[in-house]
């Protein structure tokens, strides 16, 4: 599998487009009329102001404080880059803020403080306490980070959490719980060696001691060797607290007979000889980034019984902080916590460990392209496990309530868990799953329009993202020039450019095309022009002959024209059961609409075909299909001859005995709104529809474009379904990212 590659240009473009930065602020209340403004600001705003002044706890009811976290840094220890300063850290802090939103629906703002003075930093953060429900400290160097966090925890009445310390510690603890479970050892008995006495290392060992690890069994090493009682060189109060009486002086000596190694240090710090000297079933958490202290391959080469975790996503057992901090804050915010204490962190670790021991949902296995089950290579859940959002915060909230950290305890935990399930946007996990499937498929993707810069950028990203090989139809010199203009000149040698005029397969293609078109008014000259000069036809011929695995086209010509050209090579028309299904992604919902491409005016049998095609697309996307045949009428009223076919189509599906839910005809609000559905208790739909079958292509087009322009929906499609090979036709207004998404759909063979 090709390893994903990210260039400097791509990284900069990602942060520049479509607008600078990674998030924006959106209003949650209407702000259109004078009345709205009067309620939002003056004079209406005076009422909640006075209420909060009288009772400060009401700030959690009338403001966003209860779901707002500040990500705060001074940039003195940015990732592995060192002291970049406050402004240099801002892209990282913005990134952390969007992770809060993506994984736990926690609103977050990044704040960069331009000071290296701990007192100034502490005072600045303290003054902001009224604004936020929690503080996430980030990328502050040791030992100042210890001083800052401890003081803020003592002096503030909201959770303060330095993720570089405790985030790593929590995930490390979760993995260790399961590693010891597999190896049959108890935490109070094992000998633990930690290499790296910075913020994360100290936090890891402190949390493990809080969970039962014995002080005398824990050996810490730094760049000067073992931290022992009596050592004076390179010491501080935090290291001294973990010094032990021992004759051991080096990491090599400490590793002899060790059960557990924890590394937050540097690449190559652990040798194979050290691993050989460890106890049976050694646990090795080599968490240095970007390269671990020892790779899993190196460790397993000398010890097959080793259980190995790293900080890397391309190895099993990734110790990833995103498994912890979003859900810790979610649980803490939801009980209006005063702090995130050790019991809440330990509860988080145990909940993560328990989750890894359970059966893995099919969608997770599908997303990662492999079967996952509890064992030596799966001791920590994956970051995209959909159960995290409703399992981890519940455990954290319970622990906070049990230890008196909650201002407002949750009474009904079952309802709370259900509310967490409904918070998350399913579209992100679905797209993530499709990307993972595409990487597994490794499809050779044909990009038909190599003279378009958007298409070329999509092709480069497709290949560099590790999805497979990008085959670009065009002229070599033209492709080279356009890539250079796009700032991607270094990609010229990476892409395979196919020139229709000089391909050795042209005669074979023409013979095939002539056999299809000779009785449709096309002579040999016509066929030559189509095969050698029309990129849509040529690309389709490549696909038909197995010279590619999927095709993306349509960015430069209207879809009707492109579909006509594709039909010269494939049977992609209504008569052969093809259909176009468009996915609308909006505010956490996915709704498929069909037919948006092929059928002009379908009858009831065509509508039933379209429903079956759309249901197949939905299932490929991980959705349980619920089809509504929509009209301006609901279940026969008002009566209209034009709506009759929408009434008849479900009866056609009745005869076919399909295995998905369907109902109709009905208006769109009845199809999508659960409250409106309550008026029709006889309906066969068990919930809001996720597939709308519309009367004609014009109504489909109007619906999609109206939602796109007025509603701000993200449009994926039309997805061409019912054709022998994966072909996806883009819109002429498609961005490079839209084209890439269509390539991913083709790679997954969604149609």
User: Annotated binding site for NADP(+): which residue ranges?
Assistant: 78-85
Distances (CA, A) of 183 to 194, 275, 305, 353, 607: 19, 16, 9, 15, 58
Instruction: Give backbone dihedrals phi and psi of 629, rounded to 5 degrees, phi first.
Output: -85, 110
For residue 432, what are its two tokens?
């993530």
**b/e string for 651-674 if b means 16 or more Cβ within 10 A?**
ebbeeeebebbbbbbbbbebbbee
- 469: Cβ contacts below 8 Å, ≥ 6 apart: 2, 442, 443, 444, 445, 463, 496
User: Any bridge partners for residue 112, and if so which?
Assistant: 73
Distances (CA, A) of 500 to 45, 104, 497, 527, 536: 67, 49, 10, 13, 11
- 566: Cβ contacts below 8 Å, ≥ 6 apart: 536, 537, 540, 553, 572, 723, 727, 729
Q: Is 96 a catalytic residue?
A: yes
Asked whether 312 and 292 are in contact (CB, 8 A), the reply is yes
Q: How far apart are CA 144 and CA 126, in angstroms?
A: 16
Q: How far apart are CA 555 and CA 450, in angstroms?
A: 10
CA 405 from centre of chain: 31
E strand or H helix at 731: none
Which residues fall in the annotated binding site for a divalent metal cation? 138-139, 164, 289
E strand or H helix at 515: helix 506-517
Report the helix count and the strand count for the chain, using DSSP H and E. 32, 21
Q: How far apart are CA 256 and CA 242, in angstroms?
A: 20
- 395: Cβ contacts below 8 Å, ≥ 6 apart: 331, 347, 348, 350, 351
What is the DSSP track for 658-709? -SSEEEEEE-HHHHH-HHHHTT-TT-S-SS--SEEE-SSHHHHHHHHHHHHH
For the chain, how are helix, strand and coil distributed in percent, rounded to 5? 45, 15, 40
- 84: Cβ contacts below 8 Å, ≥ 6 apart: 75, 78
Q: How far apart are CA 121 and CA 149, in angstroms?
A: 10
E strand or H helix at 472: strand 470-473
Ramachandran sector of residue 271 (left: φ over 0; alpha: ψ -120 to 50; beta: rest): beta
What is the DSSP track for 432-466? HHHHHHHHHHT--EEES-TT-HHHHHHHHHHHHTT
What DSSP designation does 168 have? H
Asked whether 207 and 169 are in contact (CB, 8 A), the reply is yes
Asked whether 665 and 643 are in contact (CB, 8 A), the reply is yes
For residue 663, what are its two tokens?
């109902």
In three-state form (DSSP H/G/I as H, E/B as E, the rest C), the secondary structure along 360-382 is: CCHHHHHHHCCCCCCECCECCCC
Q: How far apart are CA 568 and CA 537, in angstroms?
A: 7
Q: How far apart are CA 553 and CA 563, in angstroms?
A: 10
Among 3, 65, 90, 96, the active-site one is: 96
Strands (E), 198-332: 218-222, 225-226, 260-263, 283-286, 307-310
User: Any bridge partners for residue 137, and if so which?
Assistant: 72, 162
Asked whether 264 and 165 are in contact (CB, 8 A), the reply is no
Q: How far apart are the first and last CA of the chain?
A: 24
Number of other residues whose CB lies within 10 A of the CB of residue 74 = 28
Which residues fall in the annotated binding site? 78-85, 138-139, 164, 289
The residues that are catalytic are: 96
């Amino acid at each position: 599998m090709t390893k994903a590659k990210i260039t400097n240009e791509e990284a900069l473009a990602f942060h520049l487009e479509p607008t600078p930065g990674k998030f924006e602020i959106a209003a949650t209340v209407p702000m259109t009329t004078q009345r709205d403004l009067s309620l939002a600001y003056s004079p209406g705003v005076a009422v909640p102001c006075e209420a909060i002044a009288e009772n400060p706890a009401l700030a959690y009811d009338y403001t966003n404080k209860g779901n707002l976290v500040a990500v705060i840094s001074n940039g003195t220890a940015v990732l592995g880059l060192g002291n970049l300063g406050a402004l240099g850290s801002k892209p990282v802090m913005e990134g952390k803020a969007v992770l809060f939103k993506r994984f736990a629906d926690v609103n977050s703002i990044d704040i960069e403080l331009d000071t290296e003075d701990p007192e100034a930093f502490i005072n600045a953060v303290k003054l902001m306490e009224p604004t936020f429900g929690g503080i996430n400290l980030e990328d502050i160097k040791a030992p100042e980070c210890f001083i800052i966090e401890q003081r803020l925890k003592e002096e503030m009445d909201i959770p303060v959490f330095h993720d570089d310390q405790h985030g790593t510690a929590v995930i490390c603890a979760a993995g260790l719980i399961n590693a010891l479970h597999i190896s049959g050892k108890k935490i109070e008995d094992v000998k633990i060696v930690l290499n790296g006495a910075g913020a994360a290392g100290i936090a890891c060992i402190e949390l493990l001691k809080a969970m039962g690890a014995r002080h005398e069994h824990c050996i810490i090493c730094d760049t000067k060797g073992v931290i022992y009682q009596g050592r004076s060189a390179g010491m501080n109060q935090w290291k001294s607290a973990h010094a032990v009486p021992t004759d051991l002086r080096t990491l090599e000596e400490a590793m002899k007979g060790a059960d557990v190694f924890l590394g937050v240090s540097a690449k190559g710090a652990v040798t194979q000889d050290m691993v050989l000297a460890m106890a049976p079933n050694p646990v090795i958490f080599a968490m240095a980034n970007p390269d671990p202290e020892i790779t899993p391959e190196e460790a397993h080469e000398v010890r097959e019984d080793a259980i190995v975790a790293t900080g890397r996503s391309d190895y099993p057992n990734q110790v990833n902080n995103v498994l912890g901090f979003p859900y810790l804050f979610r649980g803490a915010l939801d009980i209006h916590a005063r702090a995130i204490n050790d019991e809440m962190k330990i509860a988080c670790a145990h909940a993560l460990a328990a989750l890894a021991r359970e059966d893995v949902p099919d969608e997770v296995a599908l997303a990662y392209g492999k079967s996952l089950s509890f064992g030596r290579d799966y001791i920590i859940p994956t970051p995209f496990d959909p159960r995290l959002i409703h399992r981890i915060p519940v455990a954290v909230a319970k622990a906070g309530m049990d230890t008196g950290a909650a201002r407002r305890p949750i009474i009904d935990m079952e309802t709370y868990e259900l509310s967490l399930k409904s918070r998350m946007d399913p579209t992100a996990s679905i797209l993530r799953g499709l990307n993972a499937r595409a990487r597994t498929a490794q499809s050779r993707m044909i990009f038909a329009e190599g003279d378009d810069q958007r298409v070329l950028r999509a092709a480069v990203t497709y290949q560099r993202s590790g999805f497979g090989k990008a085959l670009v139809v065009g002229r070599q010199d033209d492709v080279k020039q356009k890539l250079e203009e796009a700032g991607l000149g270094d990609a010229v040698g990476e892409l395979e450019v196919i020139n229709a005029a000089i391909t050795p397969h042209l005669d074979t293609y023409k013979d095939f095309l002539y056999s299809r078109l000779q009785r449709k008014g096309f002579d040999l000259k016509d066929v030559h022009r189509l095969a050698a000069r029309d990129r849509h036809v040529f690309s389709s011929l490549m696909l038909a002959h197995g010279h590619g695995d999927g095709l993306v086209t349509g960015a430069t010509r209207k879809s009707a024209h492109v579909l006509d050209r594709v039909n010269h090579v494939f049977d992609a028309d209504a008569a052969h059961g093809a259909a176009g299904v468009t996915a609308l992604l909006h505010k956490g919902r996915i709704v498929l609409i069909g037919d948006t491409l092929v059928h002009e005016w379908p009858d009831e049998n065509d509508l039933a075909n379209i429903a079956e095609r759309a249901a197949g697309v939905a299932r490929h996307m991980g959705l349980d299909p619920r089809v509504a045949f929509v009209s301006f009428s609901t279940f026969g009223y008002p009566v209209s001859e034009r709506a009759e076919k929408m009434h008849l189509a479900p009866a056609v599906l009745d005869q076919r005995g399909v295995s998905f839910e369907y109902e109709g005809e009905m208006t769109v609000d009845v199809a999508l709104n659960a409250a409106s559905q309550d008026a029709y208790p006889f309906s066969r739909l068990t919930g809001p529809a996720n597939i709308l079958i519309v009367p004609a292509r014009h109504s489909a087009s109007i619906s999609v474009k109206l939602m796109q322009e007025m509603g701000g929906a993200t449009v994926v499609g039309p997805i061409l379904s019912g054709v022998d090979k994966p072909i996806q036709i883009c819109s002429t207004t498609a961005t490079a990212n839209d084209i890439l998404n269509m390539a991913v759909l083709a790679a997954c063979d969604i149609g």
